[in-house]
Amino acid sequence: MEMRTMSRSRRRGHGRRWLIGLIVVLVLIAGGATIASIALRPVNTARERVTELAIKRNKITSATQFFRVSRQHTYYSVIGENKQHQEIGVIVKDKSKKITTVQMKNGLSAAEVRNLVKSKYQPKRITSLGLAIYEQVPVWEVTFTDRQGNLNLITFQFSDGKAVRTIQHL
């Protein structure tokens, strides 16, 4: 009789440990999700602001891609279609309401820039990519880590893919 009660109490203790462990894991997951949500709030707000601005100014009717680039200045850009079903890129400097518009058919797409970087620099990982303005010219800014783990920044002219600024091995 004593043997049975001991084994039952052991099982209860084991079940409680599992329950406590499960609760701890759920609290950690919820905490991580909350932190991620708070961290992404400024980017999501910028995405909404830039998309609204581009739609309100009749540059696009809907947005399909969003980019954020921070170097000397922060630029947000969206790519979408206009009323004539042409793909348009809209670039906005940080908190400004000034819009720079580019027709995507007149330059490189994000995929073409990725392929250009992969073929020319063989990066370990592309860490960021986005449309921006450099010396009053629309550009693609790309940062990546090379095989040695160094950070690199390449700025490509939007219209022809020419590298206009290269900073390697940071």
Q: Pick the residue with more confidence: 19 or 151? A: 151
The DSSP code sequence of 105-162 is GGS--HHHHHHHHHHHH--SEEEEEEEEEETTEEEEEEEEE-TTS-EEEEEEETTT--
Confidence of residue 1 (pLDDT cuts 50, 70, 90): very low
Query: What per-residue confidence (pLDDT) applies to 133?
Result: 95
- Residue 23: band (very low, low, confident or very high) from pLDDT cuts 50, 70, 90: confident
Domains and CATH numbers, the chain: 39-167 (3.10.450.40)
Residue 6 has pLDDT above 80, yes or no: no
Phi and psi (nearest 5°) for 76?
-115, 140
Q: Which pLDDT value is given to residue 94?
A: 84
> Is pLDDT larger for residue 13 or for residue 20?
20
- In this predicted structure, the answer to whether residue 164 has a pLDDT above a threshold of 70 is yes
pLDDT mean over 6-34: 73
Residue 41 has pLDDT above 80, yes or no: no
As a whole-number percent, the residues of the chain with pLDDT over 70 amount to 86
pLDDT at 96: 83
Q: Is the pLDDT of residue 166 over 60?
A: yes
For range 146-159, the mean pLDDT: 95
Q: For position 10, what pLDDT does the model report?
A: 57
Task: Determine the average pLDDT of the residues in 6-23.
Answer: 70
**pLDDT range class, residue 110, cuts 50, 70, 90:** very high
* pLDDT tens readout for residues 79-95: 999 999 999 999 999 88
pLDDT at residue 31 in the model: 72
154 to 64, 69, 165: CA distances (angstroms)? 24, 12, 6
Contact 50, 92 (CB under 8 A): yes
